Amino acid sequence: MMIARIDLFNKKDGVSSDNFRKHLDEHEVNMSQMDGFQKYAQNYVVESTQPSGLGNEDYPRSSERVEAFSKVWFDDQPSAEKASNSNAIDALNRSDMGDLKSVVTKQNIVIPTAEDKGIYKMMQVLKRPADVSPEKFEYEWCKVHAEMVPHTFPGVLGYTQNLVLNRRIADKSVPYEELPIDGIVEFWFKDKESMDAAFSAPTAIKAIDHARVFIDEISTFTIESH
């Protein structure tokens, strides 16, 4: 089982993109010094509108503002939980950035991708319906849906599920209601046209219809990876 901590960043109004990226670079250096650290990836959001025609138009999206995701792999869940936000982002950074929200996830690599730079990447933040339990969500997504995706989305170059195990805001554990995220999807395609074609393919309808069983909210982000 691969454990990854995903941090959700946003910058305060008036902060430049250059300063924002500088702080994320510092975050990477600090996280690399944590016990159990394996590797790190930065994901800058370049587009956060809900795409049409991809089976997502009927879903509401979260009001959560996200301008970058960092993904940090650890040896185990305790190491991921222990990684301290206060060490990763200093007081100067906090003056430019909002409270850091993070989730510890169990990673399920459904379609491995050898290289995520230079190809089109999309991330989606998922929330389950109120009448779907965490156990039901995990089964439908990580078992049933995971088996569908490779056969229903032509041209997909990579697909990873990140199932949320724990949630934190400003390095404090919070209940589900304060950060209602159940999963984060990573999709890779050759380009945007390939993604549009995959989601428009007749075979994709089966997976898109199945998603309505266990997903109530989808927030889609186009990503620039580093």
Is the pTM value of this prediction over 0.75? yes
CATH number at residue 132: 3.30.70.100
Given a contact cutoff of 8 angstroms between Cβ atoms, the answer to whether 85 and 36 are in contact is: no
The pLDDT, as a whole number, for residue 155 is 93
The residue among 221 and 95 whose pLDDT is bigger is 221
Tens of pLDDT, residues 22-71 = 888 887 878 888 888 899 999 999 998 776 666 666 677 887 789 999 99
- Binned at pLDDT 50, 70 and 90, residue 91 comes out as very low
Tens of pLDDT, residues 4-19 = 999 999 888 888 888 8
Using CA atoms, how far apart are residues 183 and 189, in angstroms rounded to an integer? Answer: 20
* Structural domains counted in the chain: 1
Residue range(s) defining the domain that contains residue 216: 2-225
Tens of pLDDT, residues 113-127 = 866 667 899 999 999
Distances (CA, A) of 164 to 6, 50, 55: 9, 22, 23
